[in-house]
Structure 1
């Protein structure tokens, strides 16, 4: 199951015909209550993780999460923008609002999902018409260094999942975080969480962060899919697609020299 917001939460007032890219049917997303909650999370302190943004309808209402990796570029999941026009997508920067009824402050100029998109290439980018109001220090670097990859991406390691999605208290639309253990790793994806710590509907497209031994943070995951919330999820690896994002968007992402050679 993809992890876009359930219609009984943020999109309760949005017609099904507008949301063309839902991986599950318009009737089925909000029908099951057993998997509509995320477990084990805590609210992000106000003003923290500013680079974690919400993907919204232009008319208002968040339905997915994303990660700002440059002043005008947001990474999210392919299933969050497939079937949408850029003119109907905006990005919200802030701590969120209970119920998810927020209006994006930044209009999408262009959107594109991976040409390899299938179950395992669930990544997309959004280029905005103007820069987001973020400091350089707010944007967490993408994990690309091979030594750092070896340090952070290991079975049993800890990933921090951040998003605006559904919670175990029945809420939705406020930025929360939870730490989960890495349980599986491939060249393109990573599995994280379980045992009550997980992402959920509305967290799709959002990030997973890792903290290096030196205390610095890197972003490496893109929330893709999972079963019942709380049982663990599957996340795309950002570095596996980041050179495509830079080349296809034409935006210099400030990646370390030699990353895309």
Structure 2
């Protein structure tokens, strides 16, 4: 089971490989990118203004705007994403695209530079947890941020309704998409995920999904929103992405709220 869960994370590279256009860039590019929300429907940045694309700078002008991971604006100059999205990359290799629901529409939104990258110091790989990164932008984004979930919030009660968002694949063996999608999910019981994922740690992780909707390759770094707050960061899941009923694993943001806030205040 441990091997099967790792296949999904390895395919992070798929999104990035598709996002890069030059062969030379592919050799020096980020890890891998992931696909998109299965189920759900198209979403807009008017409804979710804090949703951003984390992009590979040399490919930011391609049809996917260089997107290989999702991210969440949590302060005017701070974006939260997954650590495995940023590991091994320099700030100059990254861009953040705001206000662009359709990645191929380069007339909308804004492309912002990344000035610095913070990765949780205890991050090793997704299966060991701490899959959290904060990107500091060189200028403020023109969009309202999403509040962080904290230990004082009751965000992880089993059955709590939430929303996941992302770009990319909407199923197994299908082409990538360019338009942002949203999906309604519910927080799963920790005991259920502990059985399904050998690497699941309820202190650092949370599972969420539904009978019709779940995260898939390409959604990494994107948010789980519960009660209007950032509750999770898409981390990893089982490959293939069907059956849909098996929820994906996300970072339990409340566990890292103080670490993230420290980066926001820095």
Do the two structures share a fold, i.e. TM-score over 0.5?
Answer: yes
The residue aligned with 1:140 is 146
Structure 1 stretches lacking a partner, 5+ long = 24-28, 30-35, 212-216, 254-261
The residue aligned with 1:179 is 184
TM-superposed CA distance for 1:184, in Å, is 3.2
TM-superposed CA distance for 1:218, in Å, is 1.2
CA distance in 2, matches of 1:82, 1:68: 19
CA contact (8 A) 1:55 1:63 kept: yes
CA contact (8 A) 1:5 1:166 kept: no
CA distance in 2, matches of 1:182, 1:70: 25
TM-superposed CA distance for 1:84, in Å, is 0.5
The residue aligned with 1:232 is 247
Indicate yes or no: 2:136 matched with 1:127. yes
TM-superposed CA distance for 1:179, in Å, is 1.1
Q: Secondary structure at the match of 1:244?
A: helix
Structure 2 stretches lacking a partner, 5+ long = 1-7, 61-65, 191-201
1:196-226: CA deviations, max 9, x gaps? 3111222100100012xxxxx1111000000
Greater Cα offset, 68-77 or 50-59:
50-59
1:13-40: CA deviations, max 9, x gaps? 25431234239xxxxx8xxxxxx66421
TM-superposed CA distance for 1:195, in Å, is 3.1
CA distance in 2, matches of 1:204, 1:191: 14
Q: 1:100 to 1:244 in 2, by over 3 A?
A: farther
CA contact (8 A) 2:208 2:248 kept: yes
Mapping of 1:213-228 within 5 angstroms?
217-227=228-238, 228=240
CA distance in 2, matches of 1:246, 1:145: 13
State which of 70, 73, 83 in structure 2 corresponds to 1:68: 73
The residue aligned with 1:50 is 49
The residue aligned with 1:162 is 165
TM-score, structure 1 normalization: 0.78
Of Structure 1 and Structure 2, which has the larger fraction of its residues in helix? 2
Give runs of ≥4 in structure 1 deviating > 3 Å: 7-10, 98-104, 168-171
The residue aligned with 1:252 is 265
TM-superposed CA distance for 1:104, in Å, is 6.3
The residue aligned with 1:26 is none
Q: Secondary structure at the match of 2:85?
A: helix
CA contact (8 A) 2:37 2:183 kept: no
State which of 109, 119, 122 in structure 2 corresponds to 1:116: 122
The residue aligned with 2:28 is 18
Q: How many positions carry a matched residue from both structures? A: 229
